[in-house]
């Protein structure tokens, strides 16, 4: 059961840190609360916590290798693939804004902040490991 609870708790704690930071900076919104991006990355905390707990319970094992590789893939995609999605959102929003007013309203505003920066990923990953050690 610890395999599930500790990583989910790490992600929740990091998400609460992100929300608290947003509240302190007076830029809180429910969309950001459940959306992507921001400092720190709760996705990174989740997957590094999972890899850490698997290592603590099983050492270097097949399960640890799978969880570590999964963590790398997820963190890489949070920067690369979601970075492309952010760029596409900005470009599409600009193109939609350039449409005549009677056409512009037909298209939804695209999300422009779905990616993470390297520092957001790193802080989330470090917090995931630390929280796992504290809760283990």
| The model scores a pTM over 0.85 | no
Tokens 């609360």 correspond to what residue? 33
Query: Which 3 state secondary structure label does DSSP give 10?
Result: helix
CA 4 → CA 1, 22, 42, 50, 73, distances in Å? 6, 27, 15, 8, 19
Residuewise pLDDT in 10s, the chain (136 residues): 888 999 999 999 999 888 888 777 777 666 666 667 677 888 899 999 999 999 999 999 999 999 999 999 999 888 877 777 777 778 887 888 887 877 777 777 777 676 678 888 899 999 999 999 999 9
DSSP sequence for 15-33: HHHHHHHHHHTT---HHHH
DSSP state of 108: P
Alpha-carbon distance of 48 to 7, in angstroms, equals 8
């Amino acid at each position: 059961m610890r395999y599930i609870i500790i990583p989910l708790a790490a992600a929740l704690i990091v998400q609460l840190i992100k929300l608290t930071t947003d509240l302190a900076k007076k830029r809180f919104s429910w969309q950001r609360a459940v959306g992507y991006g921001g400092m720190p990355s709760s996705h990174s905390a989740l997957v590094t916590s999972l890899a850490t707990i698997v290592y603590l319970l099983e050492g270097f094992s097949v399960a640890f290798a799978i969880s570590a590789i999964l963590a790398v893939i997820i963190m890489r995609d949070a920067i690369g693939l979601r970075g492309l999605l952010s760029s596409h959102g900005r470009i599409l929003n600009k193109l939609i804004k350039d449409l005549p007013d009677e056409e512009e309203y037909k298209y939804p505003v695209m999300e422009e902040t779905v990616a993470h920066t390297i520092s957001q990923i790193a802080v989330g990953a470090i917090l995931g490991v630390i929280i796992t050690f504290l809760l283990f």
